[in-house]
Structures are given as structure tokens and as C-alpha cells.
């Protein structure tokens, strides 16, 4: 215990939002210090990370869909959980070293946010990846709790607080009270599914094949969940399905809204199911408190209005800086680690 405290004086403990699309790292007293894509570039057929182990994050994302046969740009997390253990370890190690900047003998404690529905095996993969990447002790916190704390919700009080966190791989819907989760639903429909829906639409309606990065840019630039006062258009380039040659076409925000209707509808259904399972007194609180919308998917134009229409709740609030909401929550856990660590899952619990 004393030795651990001494190590803590020299380490930079960190909170990590280990996301399917992006990884954010917070440091106590400094806020978000790293926000990079969860992508790693390796030599094909091996786990050798390019550029001496530094082809991680934004550098690697720029390679997605553009690599030659000898290189693979990999997203090692899928649907919020680890799909490639070794690549995740390499990615976490790079991010921890970049933030910690200390001797490898002085290792940090790490708080990691994970989806609420992951299995014991998936949790073990997170522990192992973080430890082998250089963490001294690993604590796990459920994403809805981290998001609620990051949004400044009164989750410790005897009143209902509701968070809808639309990330890259999963959507987490939770109702919290008295510092715990009363009801939670987790579906593997979020930003990635929206991108896939745009890719499928472009192929079906325009005979145009596009990549995931192009689909993401379309979603950001002209995507919406409701009708816009002034509809938008965008030129899209890709490969013709029939002829196989490069081609461009123009798409409208109405078309992209149609493409996104299914994944957006699935999120609303998940929110509705969660509300149907809540206790009457907590439901009564939500009439006043409403729900709070977080995560990168929350930035889709009109998503808050669509949720209001779909759930009947009068109050749907987009949290401040929804992209970093979960990461900010892990930072708060980090600041109160001495008080809260007994309520969190830790790698020490397994020994």
C-alpha cells in the first residue's frame, strides 16, 4: 500500500474512454489531453506497427481505405469491445506512453470506461490489454455512469437521471439514481451503423461504392434526423458499381436522412424500451428531468428533436461537448479514486 502510494507520486494516472472510433485520455486536473482515432497501421500478416510503433491514431486513420497490399489499417475495437487483442495492446501502449511520458518502471493507474453489456471475457481482455500496455492498476467503470458524471447529472441523488450515449460502436441508454444504474439497455447500433447505412444507400440508389471515411464525412456534413429549414447537398466521389470506374454524383440531406432512418429508429426503440422498464416513481422524475444526449452520434442534426418526438419526453438536452462526456466522467472517477475504488471493478478483484 505504501509502495503503491509512492509510485502514485511519480505517475500520471489517467482516465480512458476506449471507443470504437476514437480514444480519449484524461489526466487529473488537466482534462482531455488526447483525442485520437482508434486505428493502428501494421504490416500485413503481422502485428508490427509501422513507423517504429507510432502509426497509431490520426496518422493511421488517414491510411484507412488507401493502403497498398503490404499494409493494413486496423480498427481493433468493434461494437465497443476488443476484436483484436494484440493490436489493442499496441494502441493503448502508444497512447499511455504519449500521455505518461515517464519511465516504464513508473506505471500509471488507469480508469477505463466500458460498455455496460460486455461479458466477463471481454472485461478480461480490457484488463490484459491495459496491463500489458503499461498500466499499474486498471479500474473499469460502465460508460453510462461515466457519461452521467461527465455531464454533471445528479446521479447520487434520489431522483432519476437518464443518459443516452450514442458512440461509435454501441448506444448505451441508462436511468440512474442513488449512484447506481436502475435500468440499462445497450445495443450495438451507433455511429458505425449509420456510416454503413449511408454506404448501402449510395450503392443501392446511386450505383456508387464509397468508403467508410467518405460515409462519415457525408454524415457529418449533411446528415440529419429531422427535416432541415434549409436542406443541404454534397458532391460524393466513389467507384461506379456497374462500370467500375471513378465517378461522382450529388446527394441531398433528404436522401441521407432516409438512409439514416433505420439506425436512428433503432436507437429510439432502445430508448423507448428502457423507459417502459423503469419504476413509476423514476418515470415521474423523468417528466421533469428529461434525458441527456451524449456521444459523437448525438451531434447528428436534429437528433434531440427526433428523440423528443419518438419518446414523448418534453425535455431532451444535448450535453456540453458530447464527444468528451465519457472521458470527463473517467477523470472525475480518477480524482475520487480513493473514495470510489471499492465500488469499481478492478483487476485486483480477480486475484
Q: What is the pLDDT of residue 79?
A: 86
pLDDT digits (tens, 9 = 90+) for 273-323: 999 999 999 999 999 999 999 999 999 999 999 999 999 887 999 999 999
Determine the Cα–Cα distance for residues 142 and 345; give it in Å rounded to an integer. 9
pLDDT digits (tens, 9 = 90+) for 48-103: 999 888 899 999 999 888 888 889 999 999 988 899 999 999 999 999 989 987 55
- Stronger pLDDT, 118 or 147, i.e. the higher one: 147
302 Cβ contact partners less than 8 Å away, ≥ 6 residues apart? 224, 225, 226, 227, 228
Whose grid coordinates read 499511455? Answer: 96
With CA atoms as reference, report the closest residue to 23 among 92, 98, 117.
92
- Grid cell locating 62: 488517414
Determine the Cα–Cα distance for residues 182 and 120; give it in Å rounded to an integer. 21
Q: What is the pLDDT of residue 103?
A: 52
pLDDT band of 104, cuts 50, 70, 90: low
What's the pTM? 0.91
Q: What is the pLDDT of residue 351?
A: 43
CATH 3.90.640.10 positions along the chain are: 191-260
Q: How far from the centroid of its chain's Cα atoms is residue 57's Cα?
A: 14
Whose grid coordinates read 516504464? Answer: 104
Domain 2-38+75-146+325-350: CATH architecture, name and number where available: 2-Layer Sandwich (3.30)
Q: Which CATH superfamily is domain 154-189+263-323 in?
A: ATPase, nucleotide binding domain (3.30.420.40)
pLDDT band of 338, cuts 50, 70, 90: confident
Give the mean model confidence (pLDDT) for residues 258-286. 96
Kindly report the CA angle at 217 between 163 and 126, in degrees rounded to 5?
50
pLDDT band of 1, cuts 50, 70, 90: very low
Instruction: Return phi, psi of residue 241, to 5°.
Output: -65, -40
Q: Which fold has domain 191-260?
A: Actin; Chain A, domain 4 (3.90.640)
Write b or e for each residue in 312-351: b if 16 or more Cβ atoms lie within 10 A of its Cβ, otherwise e. ebeebeebeebbbbbbbbbbbbbbebeebeeebbbbeeee
pLDDT band of 342, cuts 50, 70, 90: confident
Question: What single-letter DSSP state applies at residue 225?
Answer: S
pLDDT digits (tens, 9 = 90+) for 180-237: 999 999 999 999 999 999 999 999 999 999 999 999 999 999 999 999 999 999 999 9
- Grid cell locating 174: 441508462
Annotate 11-60 with DSSP letters as a single string: S--EEEEE-SSEEEEEETTTEEEEEEES-EEEETTS--BHHHHT-BTHHH
End-to-end, the C-alpha distance of the chain in Å comes to: 16
CATH 3.30.420.40 positions along the chain are: 2-38+75-146+325-350, 154-189+263-323
Amino acid at each position: 500500500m505504501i509502495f503503491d502510494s509512492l509510485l502514485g507520486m511519480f505517475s500520471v494516472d489517467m482516465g480512458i474512454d476506449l471507443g470504437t472510433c476514437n480514444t480519449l485520455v484524461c489526466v487529473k486536473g488537466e482534462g482531455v489531453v488526447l483525442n485520437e482515432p482508434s486505428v493502428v497501421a501494421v504490416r500485413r500478416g503481422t502485428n508490427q506497427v509501422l513507423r517504429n510503433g507510432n502509426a497509431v491514431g490520426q496518422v493511421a486513420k488517414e491510411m484507412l481505405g488507401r493502403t497498398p497490399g503490404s499494409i493494413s489499417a486496423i480498427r481493433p475495437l468493434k461494437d465497443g469491445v476488443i476484436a483484436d487483442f494484440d493490436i489493442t495492446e499496441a494502441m493503448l501502449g502508444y497512447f499511455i506512453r504519449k500521455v505518461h511520458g515517464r519511465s516504464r518502471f513508473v506505471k500509471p493507474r488507469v480508469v477505463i470506461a466500458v460498455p455496460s453489456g460486455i461479458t466477463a471475457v471481454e472485461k478480461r481482455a480490457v484488463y490484459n490489454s491495459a496491463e500489458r500496455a503499461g498500466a499499474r492498476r486498471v479500474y473499469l467503470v460502465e460508460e453510462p455512469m461515466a457519461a452521467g458524471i461527465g455531464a454533471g447529472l445528479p446521479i447520487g441523488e434520489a431522483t432519476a437521471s437518464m443518459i443516452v450515449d450514442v458512440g461509435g460502436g454501441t448506444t448505451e441508454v441508462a436511468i440512474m439514481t442513488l449512484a447506481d444504474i436502475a435500468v440499462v439497455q445497450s445495443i450495438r447500433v451507433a455511429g458505425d451503423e449509420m456510416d454503413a447505412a449511408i454506404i448501402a444507400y449510395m450503392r443501392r440508389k446511386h450505383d456508387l461504392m464509397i468508403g467508410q471515411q467518405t460515409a462519415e464525412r457525408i454524415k457529418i456534413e449533411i446528415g440529419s434526423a429531422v427535416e432541415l429549414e434549409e436542406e443541404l447537398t454534397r458532391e460524393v466521389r466513389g467507384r461506379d458499381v456497374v462500370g467500375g470506374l471513378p465517378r461522382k454524383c450529388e446527394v441531398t440531406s433528404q436522401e441521407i436522412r432516409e438512409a439514416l432512418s433505420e439506425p436512428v429508429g433503432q436507437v429510439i426503440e432502445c430508448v423507448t424500451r428502457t423507459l417502459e422498464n423503469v419504476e413509476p416513481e423514476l418515470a415521474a422524475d423523468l417528466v421533469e428531468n428529461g434525458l441527456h444526449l451524449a456521444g459523437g452520434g448525438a451531434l447528428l442534426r436534429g437528433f434531440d428533436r427526433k428523440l423528443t418526438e419518438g419518446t414523448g419526453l418534453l425535455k431532451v438536452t444535448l450535453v456540453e461537448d458530447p464527444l468528451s462526456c465519457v472521458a470527463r466522467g473517467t477523470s472525475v472517477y480518477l480524482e475520487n479514486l480513493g473514495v470510489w475504488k471499492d465500488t469499481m471493478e478492478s483487476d485486483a478483484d480477480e486475484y
